[in-house]
Amino acid sequence: MVKKILFIIIVLLVFNFTFGNNTLYDSIIYKNIEDAVSKNIFIYRVKNTYMVESKLNGRFFAVQSSFSGIKPDCDCKLILKIEKANIEYPDPTVTLYSVYKGSETYDCGLYVLSKEPGYFFSPDRYFLVGVYPSGFIIFISGNFYLHSIKDNFSLDFNMPESFYYYIKLKTFSFQTKDVEFVKKKGKNLIFKAYSEELKKNITIIINKRDLDIVTVRW
């Protein structure tokens, strides 16, 4: 009887150590992603919002007024839904995570705040990031500053089909499907696809001189 009890205790300890540590690790990763994505989104807004750019030469209050629609209130954090993405990265050590922002909604502790930022980015709900075992985060798709990922793919300008999966990841924010090559025009490869996010067909352009830039038109 005593041996059975000891065996059960050991099993429970091993289970807790194994899965408890995994849960703790996941929570740390999710928190790091949340912090990194929120900061990147904020910096991107500041640098790319026309309201800010158009008033930078104005008086202090004009600039401050412009920033007030972008900067979250103190002690408020952007509400993001983070989960492991059901897609793979060429480097198998990298885990992909989808980040869903929805509207500009902030958790302020005792209350939830929705802000109307006064600018327009589209699409602006889905983001994709990758995490290396070291914890280093790469920003792949979305309205924030992106890392270069082209070197992780076997891209051949003479084989447009080699870009299909690359395009899928780079246009994750558009929730792209059914990517097809259309034609080569000068130094550009032109593709067509369907955006689940926009509910319409989109045109995707990749220039040979800079494969990092994936232009989407609709």
What tens digit of pLDDT does each residue of 150-172 get?
Answer: 999 999 999 999 999 999 999 99
Cβ atoms of 157 and 151 closer than 8 Å: no
Residue 127, Cβ density class (10 Å: 0-12 exposed, 13-18 middle, ≥19 buried): buried
User: Is 118:69 a contact under the CB 8 Å cutoff?
Assistant: yes
- Judge whether residue 59 has pLDDT over 50: no
Q: Is the pLDDT of residue 187 over 70?
A: yes
3-state DSSP assignment of residue 190: strand
The better pLDDT of the pair 158, 43 is held by 158
Q: Rounded mean pLDDT of the chain?
A: 83
CA distances from 78 to 52, 94, 109, 136 (A): 20, 25, 12, 21
DSSP state, 39?
A: H
pLDDT confidence of residue 130:
98
What is the pTM (predicted TM-score) of this model? 0.80
